[in-house]
Amino acid sequence: MADIEEVKFFADEATEFFSNENSLDCLINNASIIDMDGPNTSSDMFGRFERTFQVNAVAPFILSQRFLKADKVPQRIITTSAQSHIKPGPHKLALDYQNLQFEKGDWDPKVAYYLSKLLNIMMNTGFYYKGMIPSDTTMLAFHPGVYNTKMLLGAYGKVGVEVEEANPTFELATGD
C-alpha cells in the first residue's frame, strides 16, 4: 500500500520495496478518485498534476513502470479501469496531449475520471507494444463492475450493487 497523493512519495515507496522485499506476486493498481471539488493540483519534483489525473493515471503508470524495469517483476499487474473509459469528452476522437489535465479550462470531474480510465488501458497497451512485459507476466486492465463505493455514491448516487459483493480484483489476482 502506498499513498499516491504525492508522486515522489509513491515513487520512493516502490524504490524502498525493491530494496527490502524479495518478490511480489501481484501488483494491483486499484486506487481511483473522482475529484468533485477540483480541478485541484499538487506539485512536487515530478511536476504539477491535476489530482484525478495523478491518482488514477500517473500513479499506476509510475508504479507499473518501476516494477517492470526492476528485477522483481510481478507475475500479474492488474489495473482497475472502468467501462466509462469510452466517454473521455473532448479526447474521444483523438487525445489532446496538451490538454490531458484539462489545462484549456474545459475541466469536468466525471470527464477527468473517464479520461484517466482510458489512459489506464492505454498504459497497458503501451507497455505491451514497447516490449516491456516479460512473457511470464500478465498485465491487464479491467472494469470491476458498478459498486456503491464512496466515490460512486458521491458522483452518481446509489446506482450499483453493495461493496460487500465485490470480488473481481481478488479473482484476477489469485486466479480463484
Check which CATH number belongs to the domain holding 77 and give it. 3.40.50.720
Task: State the chain's mean pLDDT as an integer.
Answer: 77
Q: Domains in the chain: how many in total? A: 1
Find the domain containing 68 and state its range.
7-167
The number of CA neighbours under 13 Å toward the Cβ of 28 is 13
Q: Residue 97: inside a domain, yes or no? A: yes
Task: Tell me what the mean pLDDT of segment 149-164 comes to.
Answer: 74
pLDDT at 4 over 60: no
pLDDT tens digits, residue range 60-79?
A: 988 888 888 877 788 889 99
Could you give the percent of the chain with pLDDT greater than 70? 74
Question: Is residue 172 in some structural domain?
Answer: no
147 forms bridges with which residues in the sheet? 161
DSSP for 63-129?
Answer: HHHHHHHSS---SEEEEE--GGGG--GGGSSS--TT-TT-TTS---HHHHHHHHHHHHHHHHHHHHH
Going by pLDDT thresholds of 50, 70 and 90, the confidence category of residue 45 is very low
Q: Is residue 65 part of a domain?
A: yes
- Domain annotation covers residue 2: no
pLDDT grade for 41, boundaries at 50, 70 and 90: low
Mean of the pLDDT values across residues 97-119? 83
**Global confidence as pTM:** 0.77
Q: Is residue 175 part of a domain?
A: no
Range picked from 46-50, 114-118, 149-153, 161-165 for highest mean pLDDT: 114-118
